[in-house]
Every structure is written in structure tokens, then in C-alpha cells.
Amino acid sequence: MSDHEQRTPVELQGLAANDPHLQPASKNPKQAERVIAVCFVLGIIFVAAFGACFWINAQPWKIGATLGAGLSFLGIGLVAWGKYLMPQGPFVEDRHDLANSTDDRDAFAAAIVQRGGDVVKRRKLLGGLLGAGMGIFGVVAMFPLLRSLGPLPKKTLDSTDWRKGTYAVDITGRRVRVGDLAVGSIVTVYPEGTQNTDRGQAVDQTVLIRISNENFTTMKGRENWGPQGYLAYSKLCTHLGCPVGLYEQELQVLVCPCHQSTFNVLNGAEPEFGPAPRPLPQLPLYVDASGYIRAQSDFDQPVGPGFWERS
């Protein structure tokens, strides 16, 4: 057996053990080591505290604060170790050309072009048929991803559930009577029976406001649409479909809270400001013999935002 040490002495090629590159960056490594040790101890304490807070189900801020402090201290300690105590370098590495030699590139290109060309040149018909098959498959492969997801729109967007004689009810299902609203009041109404359904809420939602005690005409042709001062407009904004629930009774405007489109209540909800392009459709109303507010018919146009098929 030789007289060597327990391990073979490690020889650094071309680099002395006290080379400045291998020295820590800190001017006072012992001091840095103490600070990092403190960081780690604090980190351990806080991480343990996090465990304790979690165990006793403490308030969320305590759990989060201990976790955050613990991780931060551990991280700061680790970064400081790497930055101040490890070999400061700087070290260098050569970049080798990514590109291969011209010969290799030629061989690569030849493999694809020549081999492929040889095969297809002799079998042009097969190549064409394969291409056509892949193309058609590519198109129809989209069908399960798209068509199975949902129904065709058809005419779904063109109408709501309001019909001739439909009672207007509020969210609790209570029918609205002519004496319910004072001048300057607003209530969201739905066709009777739909107030708790998706379609009732999303499509049929209508604002009912009372602007006067006498019949009100918003524009020509709508003379009997506003009995005793009641006006009903679709609540779906014609910009992007947000509910236009914001009513200012002195300015007589409906404002959409999403992008601040402003609709003039008195002339058929014409948009006066903001990005909405069309007025809110108006629902023709009448008051029946018992004093209930009812619709004369559906809206005269599709409600909500625009789409291609909207004529």
C-alpha cells in the first residue's frame, strides 16, 4: 500500500488554490457568514411558526406573514451565500458555433430533398392522394372540436320570451301594478315565470321606469307604448350586453356601468355618449283592466349587442 493520503490529492489544472477567482466576493467572509447564519435562523423560526399557525388554524394574515417572512429570509440567506461566499469568478465559457459544417448541412438537405424527391417523383399520384387525404382529414378533424360543443344559433338571438299579454314581474315574481311605481322609480322586470331562469335573467331582463303620470310617447309610432308614464327598455346594453341598471331620474338617462354608454330615456333610449351604437329596444306596454303592467308584444328588434345576422 502506498503512503498516499486517504484521498488522492486533487490537482487544479492551471489554477492555484488561492487564486482570486476562487475567493469569496465578500471582503469580510466571516462577517458575511454570521449574517447569513442569522438569516437562516430567522428563516427556520418563521417557517416553524408558519407550521404552528397552520396547525392551530390562525387567521390568514398570520399564516401568510410567517410563511412569507420565513421563505424570504431563507431566500435572502441563500442568495447572499451564493453572492458573497462562493467563488466570485468571473468564469468564461466559449460559445461554439451552433451551425454545423457545410458538409453536414449539405448531407442533411440531401437526405430530405433527394430521398424525398426520389420517392415522390416516381409516385406522384400516391403523393397527391396522400396530400388530399391529409388535407380533408385536417378539416374534418376540427368538427368534433367545434360542432359537438354546442347548438347552431339559428334564430335564438332574434327574440325574447315577452309576448302579447305577458305580465311584468319583479325578481320575487310579484306582478307589477300601475300604482307601484312613483314618478322617478325604477324596477327590473322579467316575463312572468322566467325571473329565476337563465334566459329570463340574461335575455329577457327589462328595466321599467316611470317618468310621468300621463301617457308618454318616446317617438313616432310608439304613441301607446308608454301608458301612464311607464317606459320599458331592454336592460341589455347594445354595446356588449351588460345590464343597464344605472338610472338618473333628473337627467333622464340610463347609463351602462361597464363602459359608460348613456341612453336618453325620453326619446327611445337613443345613445348620447359612449360606445353603444344602437338605442335600447323599447318594450310596448299596456295596463290591463286590473291595473297590471303587461307587454303588448315582443321587442321590435333583437336585444343586446350586435352580431352578423342582425338585419
Site for other proteins in 269-298 (CB under 8 A): 271-278
Q: Report the C-alpha dihedral over residues 206, 210, 214, 218, rounded to 10 degrees.
A: -50
Of residues 75 and 221, the one with the C-beta less far from other proteins: 75
- Exposure class string for 141-151: b at 16+ Cβ within 10 A, else e: eeeeeeeeeee
Q: Report the C-alpha dihedral over residues 204, 210, 216, 217, rounded to 10 degrees.
A: -40
- Considering CB under 8 A, how many residues would be counted as binding other proteins? 126
Residue 208 is classified by DSSP as: E
Least distance from other proteins to the Cβ atom of residue 201, Å: 4
Helix (H, G, I), strand (E, B) or coil at 294: strand
- CA distance to 22, 29, 173, 225, 301, per residue, from 189 (Å): 78, 75, 9, 16, 19
Of residues 81 and 286, the one with the C-beta less far from other proteins: 81
The count of other CB atoms within 10 Å of the CB of residue 231 is 24
Beta-bridge mates of residue 286:
294
Least distance from other proteins to the Cβ atom of residue 195, Å: 9
Q: Note the maximum CA span of the chain.
A: 119
Considering only residues 96-155, where is the footprint of other proteins by CB under 8 A? 98, 146-147, 149-153
Only segment of 110-118, 205-213, 217-225, 279-287 that touches other proteins (CB under 8 A): 205-213
User: What residue has cell string 341598471?
Assistant: 245
Q: Interface with other proteins includes 266 (CB under 8 A)?
A: yes
Q: Would you give the binding string for other proteins spanning residues 161-200, x where CB under 8 A is met?
A: ---------xx----xx-xxxxxxxxxx-x-------xx-
Question: CB–CB of 210/183 below 8 Å?
Answer: yes
Of residues 127 and 184, the one with the C-beta less far from other proteins: 184
**59 burial type by CB count under 10 A (0-12 exposed, 13-18 middle, 19+ buried):** exposed
Considering only residues 3-32, where is the footprint of other proteins by CB under 8 A? 4, 6-8, 10-15, 20-22
Only segment of 105-113, 116-124, 125-133, 203-211 that touches other proteins (CB under 8 A): 203-211
Least distance from other proteins to the Cβ atom of residue 127, Å: 29
Of residues 127 and 215, the one with the C-beta less far from other proteins: 215
Considering only residues 28-87, where is the footprint of other proteins by CB under 8 A? 54, 57, 59-65, 67-83, 86-87
Of residues 160 and 282, the one with the C-beta less far from other proteins: 160
Q: Which of 217, 245, 286, 296 binds other proteins (CB under 8 A)?
A: 245
Least distance from other proteins to the Cβ atom of residue 142, Å: 11
Least distance from other proteins to the Cβ atom of residue 234, Å: 11
Question: CB–CB of 274/227 below 8 Å?
Answer: no
User: Residue type at 194?
Assistant: T
